[in-house]
Amino acid sequence: MHADNDGAPLMLAPDVLSETLTTAMATGAEFAEVFVEDRRSISALFDDGRVEELTSGRDRGAGLRVVVGDTTGFAHTADLSPSGLRSAAEAAAAAARGGGGGVRQVVLDQHTGPAPGPVEIMPGDVPKARKVALLERADSAARGSDGAVTQVAVRYADSHRRIQVANSDGLLTGDRQVRTLFSVSCVASGDMGMQTGRESIGHTLGFEVFDEVDVEDLARRAAGRALLKLEAVPAPSGEMPVVIGPGGGGVLFHEACGHGLEADLVAKSASVFAGRCGEVVAAPIVTLVDDGTMPGEWGRYAIDDEGRPAQRNVLINEGVLTDYMWDHLRARREGRASSGNGRRQGYRHLPMVRMTNTYLGVGDADPDEIIADTTHGVYVAQLGGGQVNTATGDFVFGMTEAYMIEDGRLTNPIRDGNLIGNGPQTLLDIDAIAGDFAMGSPGTCGKDGQGVPVGDGTPTLRVTRLTVGGTAA
């Protein structure tokens, strides 16, 4: 095991990686890459007053990618010995191009790249009993909120992921990513049936996150959300103004706009934003950013899974589409630099273009005045899951916490409603943005069967018209 001066992991010696890449390039490949990963994780579930699950795991291996023209060969192995890596390199090369070619020796540069994010307390060094104690405290706080809280599930998880990337351009780099997650889900029962509430936090930090996060307060907020919904009225139906609160609506822009700005979907003409760089695609107060460098946030990393430094990428600037998100290979074909958005679920997967922390920039409106200026509509404090057609931008999202706006005031909480609209049209229909920015809950973004950690955020904003799909007459 090796380490560089910044403490980033070099799990395999440079000479082993160099020999592996030389083998991969032997049949005349244009590009080859070795991605090494070592991931340790632990999770615990406290349900129905006791620990139901307490699991730990380790996954370690390497993925070998070889590119010839438009063809990519890929192989992965859990055998990190020189012979195991050589076999994987030969398999990937054969898949990319069978036979022919000479030997191209790959010489790796000295390790470069930004330093990993700071970690004060490695979660792996914390006794399991201390983690279980957090679960017990949260469970007790949620159940103590009200007798109507009938079910509580609390989950803790942490992971320590080390990666190393080397390629035939001479790149040699690595990163260490430590993530800590805590969530509370509650069920409250009343005359109108059962309602749920959930709160979660997740950061690319160590166990020191609990010096700032009060798990009992988190639990009470989850319980409060479930209790509040016991008194909720059915959601209205029809087109109306929608105000989205700070943090709670970031997933809308991640799904409805962010995916359409990923270069692979753009290249397939599977995005409504294809070929629109330089055009006005949003209201002039709208700036949309994807930023993998945000300290401590769930989608943060020092380098992406192709070894490129994370970046702050402005995608829409004051209403104008300025750029897409790029991985290394697509950027290479276009003769431009990667934006640091090449990500993969693990060493068994090929990288693809993925978001990191995607958010809407702040405006200068007052959040209270945005509500006061809305005669009738819906206020969404938190959105749930949804789906989007990236080719058209059409989307549907569930509302997990929302309220009626009547005469410029928040009134009844509502339930059983969806937000229905079109991403590009929504960007144009935003007429007010406040300065109270917040990041939302940690998320896992799924794409082509791969999941990666992502964050999203918004300030308070108003969309002049969205369709609310409720059950009220």
pLDDT for 273 equals 95
Q: Which residues contact 275 (CB under 8 A, 6 or more apart)?
A: 266
pTM over 0.85? The answer is yes
pLDDT for 87 equals 94
| Confidence label for 105 from pLDDT (cuts 50, 70 and 90) | low
pLDDT for 331 equals 96
pLDDT per residue over 208-240, tens digit each? 999 999 999 999 999 999 999 999 999 999 999
pLDDT per residue over 364-420, tens digit each? 999 999 999 999 999 999 998 888 898 999 999 999 999 999 999 999 999 879 999
Please give the single-letter amino acid code of residue 289. V
Helices 14-24 and 82-96 pack at an angle, to 10 degrees, of: 30
- As a whole number, mean pLDDT of residues 411-435 equals 94
pLDDT-above-70 percentage for the chain: 95
Res. 101: pLDDT tops 50: no
Strands 312-317 and 288-291: antiparallel
pLDDT for 415 equals 86
**Closest by alpha carbon to 380, among 282, 180, 240, 286?**
240
Q: Is residue 273 exposed (0-12), middle (13-18) or buried (19+ Cβ within 10 Å)?
A: buried
Q: Which residues contact 395 (CB under 8 A, 6 or more apart)?
A: 252, 255, 256, 386, 387, 388, 389, 419, 420, 421, 422, 423
Res. 10: pLDDT tops 60: no
Res. 473: pLDDT tops 70: no
Map out the domains of the chain as residue ranges: 2-230, 233-469
| Confidence label for 102 from pLDDT (cuts 50, 70 and 90) | very low
pLDDT for 128 equals 92
Output the CATH code of domain 2-230.
Answer: 3.30.2290.10
Average pLDDT, the chain: 92
Radius of gyration of the chain (CA): 24
In 69-125, where do the E strands start and end?
71-77
- Structure token digits, residue 338: 């990667």
Please give the single-letter amino acid code of residue 27. T
- Residues forming a β-bridge with 364: none
